[in-house]
Chain A
Amino acid sequence: EDQVTQSPEALRLQEGESSSLNCSYTVSGLRGLFWYRQDPGKGPEFLFTLYSAGEEKEKERLKATLTKKESFLHITAPKPEDSATYLCAVPSGGSNYKLTFGKGTLLTVNP
Protein backbone atom coordinates (compact mmCIF):
# COMPACT_ATOMS: atom_id res chain seq x y z
CA GLU A 1 0.00 0.00 0.00
CA ASP A 2 1.25 3.47 -0.88
CA GLN A 3 2.32 5.54 2.07
CA VAL A 4 3.39 9.14 2.47
CA THR A 5 4.73 10.20 5.87
CA GLN A 6 5.59 13.78 6.68
CA SER A 7 7.68 14.93 9.61
CA PRO A 8 7.62 16.77 11.83
CA GLU A 9 3.87 17.25 12.29
CA ALA A 10 4.51 20.79 13.47
CA LEU A 11 7.54 23.05 13.41
CA ARG A 12 8.08 26.43 15.03
CA LEU A 13 10.91 28.61 13.78
CA GLN A 14 12.14 32.07 14.50
CA GLU A 15 12.32 34.40 11.54
CA GLY A 16 15.58 33.73 9.74
CA GLU A 17 16.06 30.28 11.27
CA SER A 18 16.51 27.81 8.38
CA SER A 19 15.20 24.25 8.58
CA SER A 20 13.88 21.32 6.55
CA LEU A 21 10.64 19.40 6.28
CA ASN A 22 10.66 15.72 5.37
CA CYS A 23 8.37 13.61 3.20
CA SER A 24 9.04 9.85 3.12
CA TYR A 25 7.21 7.73 0.59
CA THR A 26 6.74 4.10 -0.29
CA VAL A 27 5.20 3.69 -3.71
CA SER A 28 5.96 1.37 -6.55
CA GLY A 29 7.21 3.28 -9.54
CA LEU A 30 7.32 6.94 -8.56
CA ARG A 31 5.65 9.12 -11.18
CA GLY A 32 6.28 12.41 -9.48
CA LEU A 33 6.23 13.94 -6.03
CA PHE A 34 4.27 17.13 -5.42
CA TRP A 35 4.62 19.82 -2.78
CA TYR A 36 1.69 22.09 -1.94
CA ARG A 37 1.32 24.91 0.55
CA GLN A 38 -1.99 25.41 2.36
CA ASP A 39 -2.98 28.46 4.38
CA PRO A 40 -5.73 28.07 7.02
CA GLY A 41 -9.20 27.93 5.48
CA LYS A 42 -7.79 28.00 1.93
CA GLY A 43 -7.13 25.46 -0.77
CA PRO A 44 -3.66 24.04 -1.37
CA GLU A 45 -1.36 26.02 -3.63
CA PHE A 46 1.04 24.17 -5.92
CA LEU A 47 4.73 24.64 -5.21
CA PHE A 48 6.83 21.98 -6.96
CA THR A 49 6.83 18.69 -8.83
CA LEU A 50 9.91 16.46 -8.67
CA TYR A 51 10.28 13.42 -10.91
CA SER A 52 13.65 11.78 -10.37
CA ALA A 53 16.18 11.24 -7.62
CA GLY A 54 18.69 14.07 -7.49
CA GLU A 55 16.28 16.62 -8.87
CA GLU A 56 16.06 19.99 -7.11
CA LYS A 57 13.70 22.92 -7.58
CA GLU A 58 13.73 26.35 -5.98
CA LYS A 59 11.24 29.12 -5.44
CA GLU A 60 12.16 32.13 -3.35
CA ARG A 61 13.17 30.80 0.11
CA LEU A 62 12.08 27.23 -0.66
CA LYS A 63 14.10 24.43 -2.20
CA ALA A 64 12.73 20.93 -2.77
CA THR A 65 14.96 17.90 -3.24
CA LEU A 66 14.22 14.25 -4.01
CA THR A 67 15.90 10.94 -3.27
CA LYS A 68 14.65 7.42 -3.95
CA LYS A 69 12.90 7.26 -0.58
CA GLU A 70 12.18 10.82 0.51
CA SER A 71 11.89 14.46 -0.34
CA PHE A 72 12.99 17.46 1.64
CA LEU A 73 11.61 20.96 1.58
CA HIS A 74 14.36 23.29 2.74
CA ILE A 75 13.33 26.70 4.00
CA THR A 76 16.10 29.28 4.08
CA ALA A 77 15.78 32.36 6.28
CA PRO A 78 12.00 31.98 6.64
CA LYS A 79 9.65 34.90 7.16
CA PRO A 80 6.33 34.95 9.05
CA GLU A 81 4.48 34.84 5.72
CA ASP A 82 5.95 31.37 5.12
CA SER A 83 3.74 30.08 7.94
CA ALA A 84 1.40 27.47 6.47
CA THR A 85 0.80 23.73 6.26
CA TYR A 86 3.05 22.08 3.71
CA LEU A 87 1.65 18.97 2.05
CA CYS A 88 3.45 16.45 -0.10
CA ALA A 89 1.68 14.00 -2.38
CA VAL A 90 2.48 11.16 -4.75
CA PRO A 91 0.38 9.43 -7.40
CA SER A 92 -1.45 6.47 -5.86
CA GLY A 93 -0.17 3.12 -7.09
CA GLY A 94 -1.34 2.46 -10.61
CA SER A 95 -3.90 5.26 -10.57
CA ASN A 96 -3.87 7.86 -13.32
CA TYR A 97 -5.95 10.35 -11.36
CA LYS A 98 -5.50 9.98 -7.62
CA LEU A 99 -2.89 11.44 -5.30
CA THR A 100 -1.93 10.10 -1.90
CA PHE A 101 -1.33 13.08 0.38
CA GLY A 102 0.73 13.15 3.52
CA LYS A 103 -0.82 14.64 6.66
CA GLY A 104 1.26 17.77 6.29
CA THR A 105 3.69 19.79 8.38
CA LEU A 106 2.31 22.88 10.09
CA LEU A 107 5.05 25.50 9.93
CA THR A 108 4.89 28.56 12.18
CA VAL A 109 7.49 31.29 11.74
CA ASN A 110 7.61 33.79 14.58
CA PRO A 111 8.83 37.35 13.99
Chain B
Amino acid sequence: DTEVTQTPKHLVMGMTNKKSLKCEQHMGHRAMYWYKQKAKKPPELMFVYSYEKLSINESVPSRFSPECPNSSLLNLHLHALQPEDSALYLCASSPRQGVEEKLFFGSGTQLSVL
Protein backbone atom coordinates (compact mmCIF):
# COMPACT_ATOMS: atom_id res chain seq x y z
CA ASP B 1 0.00 0.00 0.00
CA THR B 2 1.71 3.17 -1.19
CA GLU B 3 -1.19 5.53 -0.68
CA VAL B 4 -1.89 8.44 1.57
CA THR B 5 -5.64 8.65 2.09
CA GLN B 6 -7.36 11.92 3.00
CA THR B 7 -10.95 12.46 4.04
CA PRO B 8 -13.15 14.19 3.27
CA LYS B 9 -12.35 15.10 -0.32
CA HIS B 10 -14.47 18.25 -0.13
CA LEU B 11 -15.60 20.30 2.86
CA VAL B 12 -17.70 23.42 3.14
CA MET B 13 -17.85 25.09 6.53
CA GLY B 14 -19.00 28.29 8.10
CA MET B 15 -16.74 30.55 10.09
CA THR B 16 -18.21 29.34 13.39
CA ASN B 17 -17.98 25.62 12.63
CA LYS B 18 -15.52 23.08 13.98
CA LYS B 19 -14.39 20.37 11.59
CA SER B 20 -11.52 17.93 11.21
CA LEU B 21 -9.49 16.69 8.28
CA LYS B 22 -8.11 13.17 8.42
CA CYS B 23 -5.07 11.56 6.84
CA GLU B 24 -3.94 7.94 6.96
CA GLN B 25 -0.93 6.05 5.63
CA HIS B 26 0.15 2.43 6.07
CA MET B 27 3.63 2.61 4.59
CA GLY B 28 5.34 2.69 7.97
CA HIS B 29 6.44 6.28 7.39
CA ARG B 30 7.46 8.14 10.54
CA ALA B 31 7.16 11.70 9.23
CA MET B 32 3.85 13.28 8.27
CA TYR B 33 3.10 16.75 6.98
CA TRP B 34 0.28 19.19 6.40
CA TYR B 35 0.52 21.55 3.44
CA LYS B 36 -1.85 24.28 2.27
CA GLN B 37 -2.19 25.07 -1.42
CA LYS B 38 -4.09 28.01 -2.88
CA ALA B 39 -5.21 27.93 -6.50
CA LYS B 40 -2.35 28.27 -8.99
CA LYS B 41 0.22 28.47 -6.16
CA PRO B 42 2.75 25.92 -4.91
CA PRO B 43 2.14 23.99 -1.67
CA GLU B 44 3.06 25.77 1.57
CA LEU B 45 4.26 23.79 4.55
CA MET B 46 2.15 24.10 7.72
CA PHE B 47 3.20 21.37 10.15
CA VAL B 48 5.63 18.47 10.40
CA TYR B 49 5.25 15.48 12.70
CA SER B 50 8.19 13.20 13.32
CA TYR B 51 7.66 9.98 15.28
CA GLU B 52 4.20 11.23 16.30
CA LYS B 53 5.58 14.41 17.84
CA LEU B 54 5.05 17.88 16.44
CA SER B 55 8.41 18.82 15.03
CA ILE B 56 7.69 21.95 13.03
CA ASN B 57 4.96 24.58 13.14
CA GLU B 58 5.43 27.13 10.38
CA SER B 59 3.81 29.94 12.39
CA VAL B 60 0.34 28.69 11.55
CA PRO B 61 -2.60 30.47 13.25
CA SER B 62 -4.05 28.64 16.25
CA ARG B 63 -7.36 28.12 14.46
CA PHE B 64 -5.53 25.20 12.84
CA SER B 65 -4.70 22.47 15.36
CA PRO B 66 -2.83 19.34 14.26
CA GLU B 67 -2.95 16.00 16.03
CA CYS B 68 -1.11 12.72 15.46
CA PRO B 69 -2.93 9.95 17.39
CA ASN B 70 -0.57 7.23 16.14
CA SER B 71 2.06 6.56 13.53
CA SER B 72 -0.52 6.01 10.77
CA LEU B 73 -2.94 8.85 11.42
CA LEU B 74 -2.77 12.62 11.18
CA ASN B 75 -5.62 15.00 11.85
CA LEU B 76 -6.07 18.71 11.32
CA HIS B 77 -8.72 20.31 13.52
CA LEU B 78 -10.29 23.48 12.20
CA HIS B 79 -12.09 26.12 14.23
CA ALA B 80 -13.23 29.66 13.51
CA LEU B 81 -11.69 29.74 10.08
CA GLN B 82 -11.74 32.73 7.77
CA PRO B 83 -12.78 32.78 4.09
CA GLU B 84 -9.11 33.28 3.14
CA ASP B 85 -8.39 29.85 4.61
CA SER B 86 -10.22 28.27 1.69
CA ALA B 87 -7.66 26.10 -0.08
CA LEU B 88 -6.59 22.56 -0.91
CA TYR B 89 -5.16 20.95 2.24
CA LEU B 90 -2.62 18.26 1.48
CA CYS B 91 -1.26 15.60 3.76
CA ALA B 92 2.08 13.99 2.94
CA SER B 93 4.34 11.38 4.47
CA SER B 94 7.94 10.27 4.13
CA PRO B 95 9.96 7.44 5.65
CA ARG B 96 11.53 9.89 8.07
CA GLN B 97 11.86 13.64 8.48
CA GLY B 98 14.55 14.97 6.22
CA VAL B 99 14.68 17.33 3.32
CA GLU B 100 16.14 14.67 1.07
CA GLU B 101 13.16 12.41 1.59
CA LYS B 102 10.67 11.80 -1.19
CA LEU B 103 7.19 12.96 -0.18
CA PHE B 104 4.07 10.89 -0.75
CA PHE B 105 1.06 13.19 -1.01
CA GLY B 106 -2.61 12.44 -0.54
CA SER B 107 -5.24 13.78 -2.94
CA GLY B 108 -6.13 16.55 -0.55
CA THR B 109 -9.23 18.06 0.99
CA GLN B 110 -10.72 20.99 -0.91
CA LEU B 111 -11.93 23.33 1.81
CA SER B 112 -14.34 26.20 1.31
CA VAL B 113 -15.01 28.58 4.19
CA LEU B 114 -18.17 30.65 3.84
Residues of A bordering B, CB below 8 Å: 31-32, 34, 36, 41-46, 49, 87, 89, 91-92, 95-99, 101-104
Contact = CB atoms under 8 A, between A and B. Distances in A.
Nearest to B44: A101
Nearest to B105: A43
Interface class of chain A by DSSP: loop
Contacts of B40: 103
Nearest to B92: A43
A32 B102 CA distance: 11
A43 B97 contact: no
Contacts of B100: 31-32, 49, 91
Contacts of A103: 40-42
Nearest to B35: A43
Interface in B66-114: 88, 90-92, 97-100, 102-108, 110
B92 to A, nearest CB: 7
Interface in B51-75: 55-56, 58
Contacts, number: 60
Chain B contact-residue range equals 20 to 34
A46 B97 contact: no
B89 to A, nearest CB: 10
B21 interface: no
B105 A97 contact: no
A45 B98 contact: no
Contacts of A92: 99
A99 B92 CA distance: 13
